[in-house]
Amino acid sequence: MAIPEVVLSSTSPATAARAIPVLGMGTGLGHFTPEQRPATKHAILQAIELGYRHFDTAAMYQSEDVLGEAIAEALQAGLIHSRAELFITSKIWCADAHRDLVVPAIRESLRNLKLEYLDLYLIHWPMRLKAGESYPPIESHHILPFDLKSVWEGMEECHRLGLAKHIGVSNFTTWKLAELLQYAKVPPAAVQVVEMNPTWQQKKLREFCKEKGVHVIAYSALGGQDIFMGKNLVMESQVLKDIAKAKGKTVAQVSLRWVYEQGASMVVKTLNKERIEQNMKIFDWELSEEDKHKISQLPQCKRVTLRSMLSAEAASKLPDEDEVVEE
Ligand code: NAP
């Protein structure tokens, strides 16, 4: 069954923007190493062959160029006929979250991807680092005050120049998103990408996004990769295991189906062909009211936090209010 698509509302009528396939493949592999390149490219090609058209990358993941190579090969092999069939997302890293670095940053991402435009460009985190300072663990002396208004102006310029069909944000709280919506000229910031799954349901944020017409894309829809945290609360949930068993589905499918039924899109990471295929098989069945009620009662626990990207020294200086946790 083909992956359903959602039309995003923000683009100007003049922009021929592609609808977003609700299931995409994530290429953020935690700690990406050169050894993972061939397997990653192979998995992307397999996904395209199976019908995936939506791929998620970021400057920070260092997977942009592998994705670009896979896209070029897919075109050459005739797996797709044109780049326009794809929906490609990338994200600006915090060290480029400076007004004058935004357009150069998207141009660099496009160079890596060998593409002329992105379907979606996101502010990866509401945080600014000193230019040139790179990746986690982040030291406190690299952190600068984040000027959302000026960074968003840079994002709007990317949109105006045709380098990004849609612009949006990631890891924003409702109050940060509300601030942005007050002055965003490209109306509205159409997409918010956040951690979301049955054990971190994001109810408050989703309600806010629905009211404002902002589409939510879930990451860590399967609870995330265990390199960050030993226990995977989604995959180990007895409630989800019971629902999966009764339905003849896997826990992964139940979790992804739940995300889909909340009206969100999702980007899921796996390089395993059977799993890539299994994760697509969520569109021709439903969770019952009883299943949904049980899932709504699951204990909630946030996994990805700003704190998790900081060095111990920087985390110790983080004021509590920066660790806002919303349910
Ligand atoms: P995830 O999609 O929740 O995946 C978690 C783990 O589930 C993977 O390690 C994978 O293991 C496993 N898996 C996948 N399909 C499965 C299946 N059918 N059955 C059992 N296990 C399965 O994790 P994520 O990487 O946190 O999120 C996905 C993507 O979202 C990332 O790759 C990235 O592109 C994006 N992301 C964005 C942000 C952001 O700040 N915007 C943050 C985190 C992630 P195997 O690989 O061993 O199959």
DSSP percent split of the chain into helix, strand, coil, nearest 5: 45, 15, 40
Which of 124, 254, 269, 273 has the most ligand 1 atoms within 8 A of CB, as the residue to mutate? 269
For ligand 1, atom 10, which residue shows the shortest CA distance?
270
Q: Which residues contact 155 (CB under 8 A, 6 or more apart)?
A: 92, 102, 121, 123, 164, 167, 186
Which among 41, 59, 74 is positioned nearest to 123, based on CA atoms? 59
Which residues is 118 bridged to in the sheet? 164
Give the tokens for residue 271.
């390089």
* 223 Cα to the center of ligand 1, angstroms: 7
User: What three-state secondary structure class fits 92?
Assistant: strand
Supply the pTM of this predicted model.
0.96
CB atoms within 10 A of CB 41: 21
Instruction: Kindly give the distance from the C-alpha atom of residue 150 to the centroid of ligand 1, in angstroms, as a whole number.
Output: 32
- Hey, what amino acid is at 88? I
29 C-alpha to center of ligand 1: Å? 8
**Sequence-separated (6 or more) residues with CB below 8 Å from residue 156:** 167, 184, 185, 186
- Using the mean position of ligand 1's atoms as its centre, give its distance from the Cα of residue 62 in Å: 16
Q: In tens digits, what is the pLDDT along the chain, a chain of 327 residues?
A: 899 999 987 655 545 678 999 999 999 987 788 899 999 999 999 999 999 999 999 999 999 999 999 999 999 999 999 999 999 999 999 999 999 999 999 999 999 999 999 999 999 999 999 988 677 889 999 999 999 999 999 999 999 999 999 999 999 999 999 999 999 998 556 788 999 999 999 999 999 999 999 999 999 999 998 655 668 999 999 999 999 999 999 999 999 999 999 999 999 999 999 999 999 999 999 999 999 999 999 999 988 888 888 899 888 877 664 444 454
Give, to the nearest 10 degrees, the angle between helix 289-296 and helix 251-261: 90
Tokens 């062909």: give the residue: 273
Is 61 marked active-site?
A: yes
Pocket test for ligand 1, best of 219, 236, 240 (most atoms within 8 A of CB): 219
pLDDT at position 202 = 96
Any atom of ligand 1 within 6 Å of the Cβ of 265: no
Q: Ligand 1 within 6 A of 150 CB? A: no
Q: Is the CB of 27 under 6 A from ligand 1?
A: yes
